[in-house]
Amino acid sequence: MSERTCLHDVHVALGAQMGPFGGFDMPIQYAGIMAEHQACREGAVLFDTCHMGEFLIEGAGAVADLDTLVSCSIGSLQTGQCRYGLMCNPDGGVMDDLLVYRLDEQRFMLVVNAGTQASDAAWIEEHLGSDTTFSNLSADTAKIDLQGPAAPRMVKALLGEAIAGLKYYRFVQTAYRGEPVVLSRTGYTGEIGVEVYAAPDQAIAFWHDAMELGAEPAGLGARDTLRLEAGMPLYGHELTPQRHAGECGFSRAMAQDKTFIGSDVVCDLSKRQQALVGIQLEGRRAARAGDALCDGSGVEVGVVTSGSYGPSIGAAIALGYVDGALAEPGTALTIRMARSELAGRVTALPFWKQGSARKRIEGFLDAG
């Protein structure tokens, strides 16, 4: 039986179509994927991400241990800064992708995927030294993502000046309704927005308060089309234990000046046979994960990892791995499906290039 987040009854009351994801019963859509997608591009939407896992790593050995466990640089993180990284196995495969938050000099919060939470916890505890402690905060921590160009002014109305000056991949520890919350700015949609980590009852209150200000609820369907247009990876699709991390192209998540588990494979250019690319198709019909990618001679050269119609692009788009020689934008590819073929071309990522995610937040705080 699937687990439920603290917002489950809220979703049901709002008429959400529910379905399983990461071991949880989650909202797939409310008004519809297309409408929710557009609401994020033009207004603000709420995503229930309470299914994600949160770990606390602290102690005198925390920096050294995390630098060994995670591909991104931990020691250079400033307090109040977060960073995207990969946790790899010794073969360079991706066990999970995660966010690292530096709470203070010796305290860090990791945000991990729902489906890998148990295995992540076991792996991390196995690789911590005696000067580092591990706590799983997931059961007592709820997470809501409020995304879209109207989101900052809503956050200002609810949390006051805590949002002012908040930079991309930074966070603040503040209060909401008199209780402590973490307010961060990372995002998974290509648009400006925030994430709020709070106790479950606070999260429910925040959800209702944001809806009263005009935020629309959105489900995993729109979250997937938004992240695909933004060129963001999804664990289990673009990132897997069998696919070594060096081929995914997220070089910013891989520190070159340290050794981490799997780094001898990940950082070895000679071991990168394929590359993750964006593919834009000629029509609206979408490719699906597992479809073969072929070159102009019909030879199989890769595989689709994610595919969908891109509402903001006006065409079907996909992510997939191809042989390195075919990763150049403009390269023609054929997607071989079970009973037909589709034509496409390698496209530079992200597909959606007008996103607001990295813009200065001051320009959004007083928008009407």
pLDDT digits (tens, 9 = 90+) for 105-123: 999 999 999 999 999 999 9
**Measured between alpha carbons, how far apart are the two ends of the chain, in Å?**
44
The DSSP call for residue 164 is T
At the topology level of CATH, where does 273-347 sit?
Answer: Elongation Factor Tu (Ef-tu); domain 3 (2.40.30)
What was the pLDDT predicted at 151? 98
Round to whole Å and give the CA distance between 76 and 122: 26
pLDDT digits (tens, 9 = 90+) for 183-235: 999 989 999 999 999 999 999 999 999 999 999 999 999 999 999 999 999 99
pLDDT digits (tens, 9 = 90+) for 246-274: 999 988 899 999 999 999 999 998 999 99
DSSP notation for 266-319: HT-GGG--EEEEEEEESSSPPP-TT-EEE-TTS-EEEEEEEEEEETTTTEEEEE
Average per-residue pLDDT in the chain?
96
pLDDT digits (tens, 9 = 90+) for 14-68: 999 999 999 999 999 999 999 999 999 999 999 999 999 999 999 999 999 999 9
pLDDT digits (tens, 9 = 90+) for 120-174: 999 999 999 999 999 999 999 999 999 999 999 999 999 999 999 999 999 999 9
Say whether pTM exceeds 0.95.
yes
User: Domain spans of the chain?
Assistant: 8-49+141-229, 54-137, 273-347
At the topology level of CATH, where does 54-137 sit?
Answer: Alpha-Beta Plaits (3.30.70)
At the topology level of CATH, where does 8-49+141-229 sit?
Answer: Gyrase A; domain 2 (3.30.1360)
Decide if 8-49+141-229 and 54-137 have a common fold: no
- From start to end of 42-166, where are the E strands? 45-48, 53-58, 82-88, 94-104, 107-112, 133-136, 142-147
Q: Which residues contact 74 (CB under 8 A, 6 or more apart)?
A: 63, 66, 67, 83, 100, 102, 108
Round to whole Å and give the CA distance between 185 and 162: 12
What was the pLDDT predicted at 252? 87
- H-helix segments, 2-69: 8-13, 33-42, 62-69
Mean pLDDT of 294-318: 97
Torsion angle of alpha carbons 176, 180, 184, 187, nearest 10°? -70
Round to whole Å and give the CA distance between 5 and 94: 26
What was the pLDDT predicted at 367? 52
pLDDT tops 90 at residue 1: no
Three-state DSSP at 82 gives: strand
Residues in the chain: 368
